[in-house]
């Protein structure tokens, strides 16, 4: 039978700077009776990655600029939060309806430069995106290989809003060991016809699948193992392959 | 353990107008040793729904307008296909880079009015979107209830491109029994803070999860059962709740 399992890693501890996520993932998986296996896809929410990398900011220590204060007053936001969002932005893409959509230094277009308010202890602490989410994913992957001998794929995910559709979905901001897009052009569909255009954003679909367990538990699940999915392997793929170049985007 | 299973229904027959998808789903699931269960989410790709509803068009029987011919010549497309796309469109939203992005009569903004070339026998046959995808989902749900006594959720899915990001993902175009958006505002995150904004497009995430099995098999899998996901129930939700009103969209 064709079954893919999405397994939530429960009772994950609150991580601090310098912790090894690979060790925690392997140990916590073992503890709940399901060791990491060869060919697993491991989806990690970016907030825990940011925390072990020290990419968190105490808003009480931020001095907002006049521009940040002005925007914050108009949008009924925290001036210190707006300041952090602006500092993390390469440019502002849209600013309306109480939303600040920016392009991050990585090239992602998302709300608030990916700065995340929730899931970090301390009401006034926020998590930034990792500096190099692909590198963060690769580090976890390499460590898991060292600890277990197994080849896995690792995805660092974030929750994004999107144009056209309401509601947020989980998408990939970092990848290691997996091509983020499965190019199916040239493959035959199930009646034997050649598919004309079919490039599936599998890293985003895997991230969204992970949220079925990540978003489900009240106590919070920051890591999911996806087992049974035959992912397209790659040694050097980048999540930025998921970003459409501005000049090719009909909505920018 | 917190596990969600995504089960592909294999060896699904080629359906024809008038077939009962509910019966086929129940029978094929039983045949592969996993009967439909209470609380399952059943994701059905729109093409099989369109086929049982007779929403297919033979391109050889279409007479393209001069406008369709003109566009087809510029974009190197089939004039008959362009004609069908235009007939299915309420308006053209973007037309560039060889892409025709329209708003369908349902309100979905997508490429080619959701007209699908693949997965239908006959090189010159295309599948339109169902007239009322929520109604299609509700019909399958009601029939499954009648056949098994079980309450399930049904999602009719389609593969959409999207602004900002490359690659296509599977999203919901019809729902029954499930709220497409889980409103988590007011819920606490795992450090006890109240989430400010968190509306998760669960019907889209479930559709994307289904594609992990739908897209995986060479022989094609048009239906997936998602088991173990505690979905937000609703008797009257509509997939159009996933469509952001134009006046609220910063990219339209």
Q: Name, of A175-179, A216-220, B213-217, the range with top average pLDDT.
A: A175-179
The closest CB to that of B6, out of A6, A119, A222, belongs to A6
Shortest Cα–Cα distance, A229 to chain B (Å): 7
Average pLDDT over residues B39-57: 94
- pLDDT of B188 above 90: no
d(CA A113, CA A88): 6
- Mean pLDDT (whole number) for B114-137: 83
Whole-number average pLDDT of chain A: 91
**CA angle (B45, B48, B52) in 5-degree steps:** 145
Mean pLDDT of A55-62: 92
Does residue A42 have a pLDDT over 80?
A: yes
- Between A167, A244, A251, which is nearest B200 by CB? A167
Q: What is the pLDDT of residue A107?
A: 97
Q: Is A240 an interface residue toward B (CB < 8 Å)?
A: no
pLDDT in tens, A129-163: 999 999 999 999 999 999 999 999 999 999 999 99
For residues B123 and B60, is the Cβ–Cβ distance under 8 A?
Answer: no
Kindly indicate the confidence band of residue A52, based on its pLDDT and cuts at 50, 70 and 90. very high
Q: What pLDDT is attached to residue A10? A: 87
pLDDT at A195: 55
Q: Is the predicted pLDDT of residue A31 greater than 80, yes or no?
A: yes
pLDDT of residue A185: 72
- What's the confidence (pLDDT) of residue A131? 97
Confidence of residue B72 (pLDDT cuts 50, 70, 90): very high
What's the CATH fold of domain A5-52+133-243? Answer: 60s Ribosomal Protein L30; Chain: A; (3.30.1330)
pLDDT higher than threshold 80 for residue B219: no
- Please give the average per-residue pLDDT across B54-79, as a whole number: 93
Q: Give the count of Cβ contacts less than 8 A between chain A and B.
A: 254
The CATH number, out of the four listed (3.60.40.10, 3.30.360.10, 3.90.400.10, 3.30.1330.100), of the domain defined by the range B5-54+130-245: 3.30.1330.100
pLDDT higher than threshold 60 for residue A190? no
Mean pLDDT score of chain B: 91
CA distance A23 to chain B (A): 20
pLDDT at B91: 96
Residue A191 has pLDDT above 70, yes or no: no
> Residue B158 pairs with which residues in a beta bridge?
B171
**pLDDT, position B185:** 72
Contacts of B249 in chain A (CB under 8 A): 163-164
What pLDDT does A76 receive? 84
Residue spans of the domains in chain A: they are 5-52+133-243, 57-125
Which pLDDT band, with edges at 50, 70 and 90, does A218 fall under? low
- Angle at the Cα of A77 (from A75 to A81), degrees rounded to 5? 130
If one counts every other C-beta atom within 10 angstroms of the C-beta of residue B15, the result is 17
What per-residue confidence (pLDDT) applies to B162? 95
Q: What local confidence, expressed as pLDDT, does residue B119 receive?
A: 54
At B25, the pLDDT band (50, 70, 90 cuts) reads very high
Q: Which CATH superfamily is domain A57-125 in?
A: CofE-like domain (3.90.1660.10)
The whole-model pTM stands at 0.95
Q: What is residue B34's predicted lDDT score, i.e. its pLDDT?
A: 92
- pLDDT score at A105: 96
Query: What residue of A is the nearest CA neighbor of B41?
Result: A212
Lowest average pLDDT, out of A186-195, A217-226, B181-190, goes to A186-195
> What pLDDT sits at residue A204?
98
CB pair distance less than 8 Å for A205 and B200: no
Interface of B with A in 78-137 (CB under 8 A): 94, 96-97, 99, 101, 109, 117-121, 123
Q: What is the pLDDT of residue A225?
A: 98
pLDDT tens-digit series, residues A73-130? 998 888 999 999 999 999 999 998 888 999 999 999 999 999 987 555 556 788 899 9
Task: Give the pLDDT confidence score for residue B116 in this predicted structure.
Answer: 84
Q: How confident is the model at residue B124 (pLDDT cuts 50, 70, 90)?
A: confident
Higher pLDDT, B13 or B22: B22
ipTM given for this complex? 0.94
């Amino acid at each position: 039978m064709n079954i893919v399992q999405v397994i939530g890693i429960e009772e994950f501890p609150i991580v601090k700077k310098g912790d090894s996520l690979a060790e925690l993932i392997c140990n916590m998986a073992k503890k709940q009776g399901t060791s990491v296996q060869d060919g697993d896809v491991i989806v990690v929410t970016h907030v825990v990655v940011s925390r072990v990398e020290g990419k968190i900011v105490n808003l009480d220590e931020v001095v907002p600029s006049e521009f940040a204060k002005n925007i914050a007053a108009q949008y009924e936001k925290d001036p210190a939060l707006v300041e952090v969002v602006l500092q993390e932005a390469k440019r502002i893409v849209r600013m309306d309806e109480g939303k600040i959509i920016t392009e991050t230094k990585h090239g992602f277009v998302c709300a608030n430069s990916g700065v995340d308010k929730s899931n970090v202890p301390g009401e006034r602490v926020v998590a930034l995106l990792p500096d190099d989410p692909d590198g963060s994913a690769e580090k976890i992957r390499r460590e898991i290989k060292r600890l277990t001998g197994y080849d896995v794929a690792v995805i660092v995910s974030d929750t994004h809003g999107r144009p056209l559709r309401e509601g947020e979905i989980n998408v990939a901001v970092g990848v290691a060991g997996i091509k983020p897009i499965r190019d199916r052009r040239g493959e035959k569909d199930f009646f034997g016809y050649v598919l004309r255009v079919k490039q599936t954003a599998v890293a985003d679909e895997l991230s969204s699948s992970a949220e079925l367990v990540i978003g489900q538990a009240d106590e919070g699940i920051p890591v999911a193992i996806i087992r049974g999915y035959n992912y397209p392997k790659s040694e050097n793929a980048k999540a930025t392959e998921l970003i459409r170049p501005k000049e090719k985007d009909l909505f920018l």
